[in-house]
């Protein structure tokens, strides 16, 4: 579902606003690992809370904080150094860096760090979510 939503976002923003996302393979790979990281984050959140209402509440809070410190609302370049560094704990910051590079003429070779960071986040978050769900099911 996340990939479909992202494909719609890319398609409509390109068609309606003429937005250039960059090299298609690089955009697809970055989108894939971003959706993986965000989905894995959702799994962790779902594994940590006890009700659907809590998932919605905590999920929105986490996404709001992540969006704020990652540069989704205000460019990170104006942040103090400590906040720019802290923002890198979010998938949002890595994706924003990658899509910015691609949108300004970069290619697949320019986003290796972003792809790696998001892939690692996906693996770690997914692993934490699975472990937490297993513990919950055995209790």
Distance CA 13, CA 120 (A): 28
- The token pair at 27 is 């955009």
Tell me the per-residue pLDDT of 78-129, one tens digit each, with 9 for 90 and over: 899 999 999 999 999 999 999 999 999 999 999 999 999 999 999 999 999 9
Torsion of CA 49, 47, 8, 18, to 10 degrees: 80
If residue 21 lies in a helix (H) or strand (E), which one and from where to where?
none
Distance CA 99, CA 30 (A): 8
Tell me the per-residue pLDDT of 54-77, one tens digit each, with 9 for 90 and over: 888 998 999 899 999 999 999 888
Where are the chain's structural domains? 2-138
Query: How much is the pTM?
Result: 0.89
């Amino acid at each position: 579902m996340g990939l479909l939503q992202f494909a719609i976002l890319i398609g409509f923003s390109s068609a309606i606003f003429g937005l250039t996302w960059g090299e298609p393979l690089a955009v697809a790979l970055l989108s894939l690992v971003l959706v993986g990281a965000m989905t894995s984050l959702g799994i962790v959140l779902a594994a940590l809370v006890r009700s659907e209402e809590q998932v919605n509440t905590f999920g929105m809070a986490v996404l709001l904080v992540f969006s704020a410190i990652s540069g989704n609302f205000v460019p990170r370049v104006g942040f103090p150094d400590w906040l720019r560094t802290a923002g890198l704990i979010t998938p949002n910051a890595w994706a924003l860096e990658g899509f910015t590079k691609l949108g300004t003429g970069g290619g697949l070779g320019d986003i290796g760090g972003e792809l790696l960071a998001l892939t690692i986040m996906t693996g770690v978050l997914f692993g934490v979510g699975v472990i937490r769900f297993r513990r919950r099911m055995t209790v």
